Structure 1
Amino acid sequence: MSNSIDLNTFADGALQEKFNLELEKVLSNLQDPNSDYKKPRELTMKIKFVTDEARDISIVTISTSSKLVPSKDAMTKLLMGMDGRGGFLAAEYKNQVPGQQVMRVNGGEVVDIETGEIKEDTASNVRALYK
């Protein structure tokens, strides 16, 4: 009986397969630009042996796990208000012109911030809002 085991073929290749799958997760996390590059990642492979009283056979369990770095939080700003009819309006705040008071809703319509009304003639209403 040999005391050496070929790790490539052990458990019909399950040991190597489980290692490779977990390694893929670690490598993917290392390449994620939304995670902290400074924090270490870990890959753990656990091989557990349980035998019977006669000690002539052992059940071997192979498990893998990894400790990854979570993605960084993403943040944004929302402009919020009322539409004048009891409804709510919200739009993501982007780099806008200071004092800009035009809000577009799903269909591209312009909303008058003060009244909450949706304007039909977009071009003339945009000019009217800036007067």
Structure 2
Amino acid sequence: MKVDINNLAGGAMAERINRELAKVAENVMDPNTKAEAVRTVTITLKIKPNEARQMGQTDIEVKSSLAPAKGVPTQFVFDFDKEGKAVMKELNLSNDKNQMAMNDAGDVVDGTGTSPNPKVVGLYK
């Protein structure tokens, strides 16, 4: 018995394998994914024979499993607002005027070095 995989389903299976391999190549070359992550291409042939066992209805499935995008690191600070509700804000010290930090004197300042309007009371205790 010999099945020509290149011509199986009129060449559709080979076409789908190549499409999934192209996705793998794009994923490998994406700098936002982990280089060493394993990528897989899975080919599934489902064959359901008829009662007489003379024919089999066949479904071909080709799928890839790619590396997910790397996480994007950041930091949050947590405190309570005037009503006692928990709040959080991203801590980004890249001169964002809306970010809280401490200056060399120990005062709370925004990303530009200016003392902020006291909205979060816990930061000023």
Once the 2 structures are TM-superposed, how far is the Cα of residue 87 of structure 1 from its aligned partner? 4.7
Q: Structure 2-normalised TM-score?
A: 0.57
- Matched residue, 2:6: 7
What SS class does the counterpart of residue 33 from structure 1 fall into? coil
| Structure of higher CA gyration radius | 1
Once the 2 structures are TM-superposed, how far is the Cα of residue 19 of structure 1 from its aligned partner? 1.9
Which whole-Å deviations, capped at 9, do the CAs of 1:22-54 have from their partners, x for residues lacking one? 223322321232322123312122334444465
RMSD of equivalent CA atoms: 3.5
Q: How many residues align?
A: 109
Judged with a 3 Å threshold, the aligned counterparts in structure 2 of structure 1 residues 48 and 101 are, in CA distance, closer, same or farther, namely: same
Q: Structure 1-normalised TM-score?
A: 0.56
Judged with a 3 Å threshold, the aligned counterparts in structure 2 of structure 1 residues 27 and 115 are, in CA distance, closer, same or farther, namely: same
The one-letter code of the counterpart of 2:59 is T
- Matched residue, 1:107: none
Aligned mate of 1:101, from 99, 108, 118:
108
Cα distance in 1 for residues equivalent to 2:17 and 2:81: 56
Q: Percent identity?
A: 30
Equivalent positions of 1:6-25 (< 5 A) are: 7=6, 10-25=8-23
Unaligned runs of 5+ in 1: 105-109, 117-131
Decide whether the 8 Å contact of 1:47 with 1:62 is kept in 2: yes
Pair 1:62-2:68 in alignment:
no
- Matched residue, 2:29: 31
Judged with a 3 Å threshold, the aligned counterparts in structure 2 of structure 1 residues 111 and 79 are, in CA distance, closer, same or farther, namely: farther
Pair 1:76-2:83 in alignment:
no
Unaligned runs of 5+ in 2: 94-100
